[in-house]
Amino acid sequence: MISRRSFVAAGAALVGASAFPAISFADSTGAAGTPSTEGPRSIGAANAPVTVEEFFSLTCTHCAHFSMTTMPEVMDKLVKPGKLRIVYHDFPLDAVALEAAMVARYLPNDQYYPFVTALFASQDTWAFAPGVNYTDELWKMAALAGMGHDTFQKAVADNALKNWIQTQQVADEKMYNIEATPSFLIKGKTQAGDMSYSDFVSAIGLAG
SS3 call for 190: strand
| Eight-state DSSP code of residue 67 | I
* Backbone torsions φ then ψ of 42, nearest 5 degrees: -155, 165
Question: What's the confidence (pLDDT) of residue 2?
Answer: 41
Q: What is the pTM of this model?
A: 0.86
Question: What's the confidence (pLDDT) of residue 6?
Answer: 43
Query: What number of other Cβ atoms are within 10 A of residue 72's Cβ?
Result: 12
Instruction: Return the closest-CA partner of residue 92 out of 188, 177, 162.
Output: 162
Measured at the CA of 49, the angle between CA 44 and CA 55, to 5 degrees, comes to 55
Is the omega angle on the peptide bond into residue 108 within 30 degrees of 0, that is, cis?
A: no
User: At a CB cut-off of 8 Å and minimum separation 6, what does 150 contact?
Assistant: none
SS3 call for 30: coil
Question: What's the confidence (pLDDT) of residue 109?
Answer: 87
Q: Is 93 exposed, middle or buried (0-12, 13-18, 19+ CB in 10 A)?
A: middle
Question: What's the confidence (pLDDT) of residue 32?
Answer: 59
| Eight-state DSSP code of residue 39 | S
CA–CA dist 121, 1 (Å, integer): 9
Residue pair 127/134 in contact (Cβ under 8 Å)? The answer is yes
**Positive or negative torsion for Cα 45, 47, 50, 54:** positive
208 residues of the chain, pLDDT tens digit each:
444 444 444 443 333 333 333 344 444 445 557 799 999 999 999 999 999 999 999 999 999 999 999 999 999 999 999 999 999 999 999 999 999 999 999 999 899 999 999 999 999 999 999 999 999 999 999 999 999 999 999 999 999 999 999 999 999 999 999 999 999 999 999 999 999 999 999 999 976 5
Question: What's the confidence (pLDDT) of residue 31?
Answer: 55
Question: What's the confidence (pLDDT) of residue 115?
Answer: 97
Residue ranges and CATH numbers for the domains of the chain are: 4-18+53-204 (3.40.30.10)
